[in-house]
Amino acid sequence: MDILSGLAQGFSVALEPLNLFWCFVGVFLGTVVGVLPGLGPPATIAMLLPLTFNMNPAGAMIMLAGIYYGAKYGGSTTSILLNVPGESASVVTCLDGYQMARNGRAGPALGIAAIASFIAGTVGVLGLMLVAPPLARLSLAFSSPEYFALMTLGLAMVVLLAGTSLVKALLAMLVGLWIAGMGTDLFSATSRFTFGRTELLGGIDFVIVAIGIFAIAEVLANMEPRAGPRMLPVPRGLANLLPTWQDMKDCRFAFFNGSVLGFVIGVLPGAGSTIASFLSYGVEKAVSKHPERFGTGVIEGVAAPEGANNSETGGALVPLLTLGIPGSGTTAILLGALILWGFKPGPLLIEESPALFWGLVASMYIGNLMLLVLNLPLVPLFAQLLKLPAFAMYPLILGVSIVGVYSVSNSLFAVALLTVFGLLGYLMRKLDYPAGPLVLGLVLGDGLERALRQSLMMSQGDLTILFTRPISATILVLAAAILVIPLVRRMNAVRLAAIAQES
Amino acid sequence: MIRGFRRADFWSGSVLAALGAWIVSEAQRWEYLGPDGPGAGFFPLWYGIAMVVLSAALVARSVLAKGVDESRGPLAWAEIRRAFGCWCSLVVSVALLKVVGFIASFALLSWFIVAVMFRQSQRLAWSIAFCAAVGFYLLFDVVLGVTLPTGVWHLAAWGPAWTS
């Protein structure tokens, strides 16, 4: 199927009234989630995942993806008005966005954020559409050893998801592998790590862990402080939100920089939208004629990172949909969702489920357009959400989490497990253990073990099968290289420190 | 304060080392390599060993670390107590699900968060608790058809009788 006919099929799926409705629900919820600091896309997607089980998978995926990229539009609002990023990718927007608002230019800052997000978001989807099908065709030659290598590469991405400590990230990933291994082993029917509980024979549902680690832990973390920051006034009327012609001219390179850099960073699993936005801000500053003004409220300082974090979404979906490798906590949850709905994310996804893939691509074009309309004239309305008291919001999040888990399992044991994973997620935050690697281990653990065991069955126990096949060997070398990166960086830092000390 | 963080690394590393050791001991009970290839114990054994090694490294680092880590602020115990208080209320509310059902237990959880955690007025707390519980019942049970725990008194089951 070529790209044009695929896209035509995609639009026929995305333009179905029900799918258009789910697309709108997704981008609307995404904007709300992006606007509200403390409630991120992974938590929201995890909470809503159980409610999608009765939906048509294409509609469900369109909605969940809408939350994912919609949150990136909404995230800039709090960065600009409160100096508090609505989500991690909007951290850089605080630097110049908040300063613009303090200088009385909140309207153009919000406007350029929406326009840059639209342009770069659309470029990102274009990239996804052009890059994903050939990459998937290339990976059709994969067998168990290649899948094992691919999942090892996915797990190696933990290095890039690691926060301050790689050891802690690796430990979190191993805990994820352990949780994934709970239940009955499908090869030998052995019960593993079930603590004698029949409820654990089927393993622990991904939804329980995801909701606990992200949603419950997020509420607990947000419960800590009593008072919130003060919001700057929001300009009213579309005319006050539109940037001037000069602003648009100033942002020409920022649009290009954000679009291209964001997509490329997105394709590299593990890099993430926060890195994309920081890099594009750095590039923008480096090529600017007035770099000294960055941080004081220049409009390119808002356009570049906002564009990059939206273009990154399209890029991040490339490895997710063609190789089954999630590069972040949110894409890991989307991967889990695809598996729960019965799809096999990987090289065959586009071939076997064209309606899902192309429907998603087409819906992202439509969703970006919806977001532009939602975010330009309706920004003052969304900003009102910031006045919603936390004491009214947190019980609702806890309630949706409980209902979500109970609706999946019909078991109070599962709800009890939810509280355990909620506490685990909170403790991980306090102790600086990143949650992303745990989810990565949980999602990839089962497939990794299966691929390894199938590979060794193929070779009758000979491990060299993993290294003698060219694609598998190349991917494993790449995974090893990724694991070595921080070691080299650290050695280099030690070397530089030693040189500095000597001089 | 920084010492507190180091202690946290020490203790979390120790707990994970113990978990890793337990995983290794469990994995040894299962088949490692069989005639058809790796058995049920193959994979857990290796990640268990990796967990022991990495957590030992974390413990060693926390013991041997010198100087002050300025990137970390002090631990705010009052804030942690608030979060833990919220978690305890969630645990109690989940425990009550079996007895009083979702609607009553969720209303109590909402009341606790508004009145006790955020110190709002009783009137506001009870209003939010009531509205949230009824709203959830109408949205999930009535509109979406999601079955909610009813408890021994089958509280949510009264709903259809009212609505019919």
Q: What is the pLDDT of residues A44-99, one digit of tens each?
A: 888 788 878 788 888 999 999 999 888 888 878 877 877 766 666 777 788 888 88
Torsion from C-alpha of B118, A44, A215, A271, nearest 10 degrees: -120
Q: What is residue B155's predicted lDDT score, i.e. its pLDDT?
A: 57
Report the candidate in A14, A68, A22, A122 with the shortest Cα–Cα distance to residue A355: A14
Nearest CA in chain A to B60: A167
Q: Per-residue b/e over B47-71, b at no fewer than 16 CB within 10 Å?
A: bbbbbbebbeebbeebeeeeeeeee
The mean pLDDT value of chain B amounts to 83
CA distance A25 to chain B (A): 16
Residue recorded with tokens 């990136």? A72
Q: What is the mean pLDDT of residues B124-153?
A: 85
Task: Say how many CB pairs under 8 Å bridge A and B.
Answer: 164
Average pLDDT over residues A326-336: 81
- On the 0-12 / 13-18 / 19+ scale of CB atoms within 10 A, A342 is exposed
CA–centroid distance for A488 within its chain: 27
Q: Answer whether B40 sits within 8 Å of A394, measured CB to CB.
A: no
Closest CA to B91 of B77, B109, B78: B109
C-alpha distance from A492 to closest chain B C-alpha (Å): 20
Higher pLDDT residue, A330 or A225? A330
List the domain boundaries for chain B: 2-64, 77-163
Confidence tier at A492 by pLDDT (50, 70, 90): low
Say what the pLDDT of residue B161 is: 41
Contact A180, A441 (CB under 8 A): yes
pLDDT (0 to 100) of residue A496: 65
A21 Cβ partners below 8 Å, 6+ apart? none
Looking at residue A231, the DSSP 8-state letter turns out to be P
Interface test with A, best of B2, B5, B12 (most A CBs within 10 A): B12
What's the gap in Å between the CA of A12 and the closest CA on chain B?
27
Calpha distance B120→B110 (Å, rounded): 12
Which of these ranges, A16-25, A331-340, A488-497, has the smallest mean pLDDT?
A: A488-497
- HSE, side-chain direction, 13 A CA sphere, residue A109: 33
Percent of chain A with pLDDT strictly greater than 70: 88
How high is the pLDDT of residue B164? 34
**Contact A253/B at CB under 8 A:** no
**In chain B, which residues have their Cβ closer than 8 Å to the Cβ of A224?**
76, 79-80, 82-83
Q: Cβ separation of B146 and A407 shorter than 8 Å?
A: yes
For chain A, percent of residues with pLDDT exceeding 90: 18
Instruction: Say yes or no to pLDDT of A8 above 70.
Output: yes
Question: Does the pLDDT of residue A39 top 80, yes or no?
Answer: no
- Asked whether A411 and A204 are in contact (CB, 8 A), the reply is no
User: What pLDDT does residue B24 have?
Assistant: 95
User: With 80 as the cut, is the pLDDT of residue A1 above it?
Assistant: no
Distance, in angstroms, between A176 CA and closest chain B CA? 10
Answer yes or no: is pLDDT of A218 > 90: no
Structure tokens at B6: 């180091």
Amino acid letter, B25: S
Mean predicted lDDT score pLDDT of chain A:
83
| Dist CA A448 CA A476 (whole Å) | 13
Whether residue B80 and residue A418 make contact (CB cut-off 8 A), yes or no, is no
B47: contact with A, CB 8 A cutoff = yes
Stronger pLDDT, A383 or A214, i.e. the higher one: A214
Evaluate whether A457 touches B37 at the Cβ level (below 8 Å). yes
- Cα distances from A341 to residues A159, A321, A411, in angstroms, run 29, 14, 20
Is residue B131's pLDDT more than 90?
yes
What is the structure's pLDDT at B2?
45
Of A168, A190, A225, the CB nearest to B40: A190
pLDDT score at B159: 45
CA dihedral A306, A311, A315, A316 (to 10 degrees): 40
pLDDT over 70 at A456, yes or no = yes
**pLDDT band at residue B12, thresholds of 50, 70 and 90?**
very high
Over 90: is that where the pLDDT of A174 sits? yes
Burial class (CB in 10 A: 0-12, 13-18, 19+), A432: middle
Give the mean model confidence (pLDDT) for residues B113-136.
92
Q: Residue B148 and residue A419: Cβ atoms within 8 Å? A: no
Distance CA A296, CA A288 (A): 14
Least confident of A301-315, B4-18, B101-115: B4-18
pLDDT of residue B157: 46
**Three-state SS for A152?**
helix
Place A491 in a pLDDT band, splitting at 50, 70 and 90: low
DSSP letter assigned to residue B33: E
- Quick one: what percent of chain B has pLDDT higher than 70? 83
A22 confidence band (pLDDT: 50, 70, 90):
very high
Model confidence at A498: pLDDT above 70: no
Residue B37 forms beta bridges with which residues? B34
Instruction: Give the confidence band of A274 by pLDDT, cuts at 50, 70, 90.
Output: confident
Where are the alpha helices (H) located in A83-105, listed in sequence order?
Answer: 93-102
> Considering only CA atoms, which of B44, B27, B54 is closest in space to residue A177?
B44
Cβ contact B54–A426 (<8 Å):
no
Q: Which residue of A has its CA nearest to B47?
A: A174
Residue (of B38, B23, B61, B33) closest to A174 by Cα position: B23
* A344-372 pLDDT tens trace: 888 888 888 888 899 999 999 999 999 88
pLDDT above 90 (res A291):
no
CA distance A165 to B72: 13
Closest among B103, B109, B108, B61 to B87, alpha carbons compared: B109
Q: Are residues B43 and A453, on separate chains, in Cβ contact within 8 Å? A: yes
CB pair distance less than 8 Å for B47 and A174: yes
**Is the pTM here over 0.80, yes or no?**
no
Q: Which residues of A touch B48 (CB under 8 A)?
A: 178
Contacts of A216 in chain B (CB under 8 A): 87, 90
